[in-house]
């Protein structure tokens, strides 16, 4: 049966909303009818070549839906179950998995190389852009890519748990390890940045400074937990030091992936503090440091992949926060759109507008 999907034909090509033919689930696979899918910057990074995976592909990796059918050997979900998609399933056997660092699994994106579906009009083979191909009315995925949706969380909102919220929560709790009473700066107030602000508030940060190029995002940022808001400029690090007794924040979290923003986050961090980079930047984004400043400032600079999260472990924790009212998933969403609205959502993302756009099927 043909379903509608968002396909990127080649690097730099416009996104196409077209019909695709999905196979029935084979052994170990699950067919899911999507309820909602978040539009993430990683989808844009795949379409413009910042991230290199096989194309043409059906994009979308943050989603939730209902199981329609399962293949042989799938026992953890059944038809009718509500599920959250996990775009980076761990293999359990590689070196990173053996160390318990499942977010660095060497085989997490192996499924992206497989043929996922075919275009209805010309039979072109299509790959699942980031394993799960969530920008489609239905998808067929490896069984490891579906997790039971948490009870008590609206399924439309639960889609955000698959990437933005896990990443923002993990950046605070697992990577930067923010402690109660510490000060935090968050650079970039998109979907991940808003989730990061909420996570910093939940952990009890004493001051949370949000930084973005758009003045229009201040209300969003403060609603998520920001105590201060700065419009990004050349003087941002100096302004952050002024807000923190000339020291700088204990932790900076960069959610943009640009050299100038990473550098600003670094310079905004106090001596001995931690700078965590969540944003995915291209190879042309070169960040430079001189040896003396590395010694003098004693800061830690760390990358953060998928929030350094284990979705199986962390999804129930996030669900508890949602049910208790500490984590507001709907507050991350600034636009609810149809599948046809994804190209415009990409344009808004490039222009730095809004938080998370959510495709509602």
Q: What is the pLDDT of residues 25-55, one digit of tens each?
A: 999 999 999 999 999 988 888 888 888 889 9
Q: Biggest alpha carbon distance in the chain?
A: 63
How distant is the alpha carbon of residue 355 from its chain centre? 12
- Distance separating alpha carbons of residues 282 and 311, to the nearest angstrom: 26
Domain annotation covers residue 173: yes
Q: Same domain, yes or no, for 185 and 298?
A: yes
Q: Same domain, yes or no, for 15 and 128?
A: yes
Q: Name the one residue in this structure whose structure tokens are 């043929």.
A: 115
What pLDDT, on a 0 to 100 scale, did the predictor assign at position 51? Answer: 84
Q: What's the DSSP call for residue 143?
A: G
Q: Same domain, yes or no, for 253 and 238?
A: yes
Whichever domain contains 158, its CATH number is: 3.90.180.10
State which residues of the chain have pLDDT below 50: none
Report yes or no: 7 and 116 within 8 Å, Cβ to Cβ: no
Helix (H) or strand (E) holding 218: helix 218-224
What pLDDT, on a 0 to 100 scale, did the predictor assign at position 250? Answer: 98
Helix (H) or strand (E) holding 315: helix 311-323
The two tokens of residue 112 are 């992206």
What pLDDT, on a 0 to 100 scale, did the predictor assign at position 62? Answer: 96
Q: Same domain, yes or no, for 181 and 108?
A: no
- Distance separating alpha carbons of residues 78 and 71, to the nearest angstrom: 10
The two tokens of residue 238 are 């100096």
What pLDDT, on a 0 to 100 scale, did the predictor assign at position 4? Answer: 97
Domain annotation covers residue 100: yes
> What's the number of domains the chain is made of?
2
Q: Same domain, yes or no, for 224 and 129?
A: no
What pLDDT, on a 0 to 100 scale, did the predictor assign at position 228? Answer: 98
- Distance separating alpha carbons of residues 341 and 359, to the nearest angstrom: 8
What pLDDT, on a 0 to 100 scale, did the predictor assign at position 167? Answer: 96
pTM for this prediction: 0.94
Interacting residues of 144 by C-beta distance below 8 A, sequence separation 6+: 86, 89, 90
Domain annotation covers residue 315: no
Structural domain boundaries enclosing 355? 2-162+328-360
The two tokens of residue 350 are 């490039």
Q: Same domain, yes or no, for 158 and 193?
A: no
Beta-carbon count within 10 A of 335 CB: 16
């Amino acid at each position: 049966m043909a379903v509608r999907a968002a396909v990127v034909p080649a690097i730099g090509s416009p996104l196409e909303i077209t019909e695709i033919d999905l196979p029935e689930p084979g052994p170990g696979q699950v067919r899911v009818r999507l309820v909602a899918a978040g539009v993430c910057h990683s989808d844009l990074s795949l379409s413009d070549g910042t991230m290199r995976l096989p194309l043409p592909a059906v994009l979308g990796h943050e989603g939730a839906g209902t199981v329609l059918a399962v293949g042989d050997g799938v026992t953890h979900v059944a038809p009718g179950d509500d599920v959250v998609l996990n775009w980076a399933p761990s293999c359990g056997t590689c070196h990173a998995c053996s160390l318990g660092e499942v977010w660095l699994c060497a085989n997490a994106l192996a499924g992206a190389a497989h043929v996922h579906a075919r275009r209805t009009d010309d039979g072109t083979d299509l790959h699942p852009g980031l394993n799960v191909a969530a920008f489609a009315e239905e998808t067929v995925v490896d069984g490891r890519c579906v997790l039971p949706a948490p009870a008590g969380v609206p399924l439309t909102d639960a889609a955000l748990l698959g990437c933005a919220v896990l990443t923002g929560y993990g950046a605070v709790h697992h990577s930067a390890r923010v402690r109660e009473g510490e000060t935090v700066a968050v650079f970039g107030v998109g979907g991940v940045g808003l989730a990061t602000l909420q996570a910093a508030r939940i952990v009890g940060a004493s001051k949370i400074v949000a930084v973005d190029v758009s003045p229009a995002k201040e209300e969003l940022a403060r609603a998520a937990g920001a105590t201060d808001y700065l419009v990004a400029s050349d003087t941002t690090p100096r302004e952050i030091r002024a807000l923190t007794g000339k020291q700088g924040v204990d932790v900076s979290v960069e959610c943009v992936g640009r050299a100038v923003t990473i550098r600003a986050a670094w310079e905004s961090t106090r001596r001995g503090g931690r700078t965590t980079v969540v944003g995915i930047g291209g190879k042309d984004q070169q960040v430079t440091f001189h040896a003396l400043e590395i010694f003098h400032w004693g800061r830690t600079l760390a990358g953060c992949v998928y929030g350094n999260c284990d979705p199986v472990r962390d999804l129930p924790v996030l669900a508890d926060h949602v049910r208790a009212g500490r984590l507001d998933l709907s507050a991350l969403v600034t636009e609810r759109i149809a599948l046809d609205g994804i190209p415009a959502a990409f344009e808004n993302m490039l222009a730095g507008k809004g938080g998370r756009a959510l495709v509602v099927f």
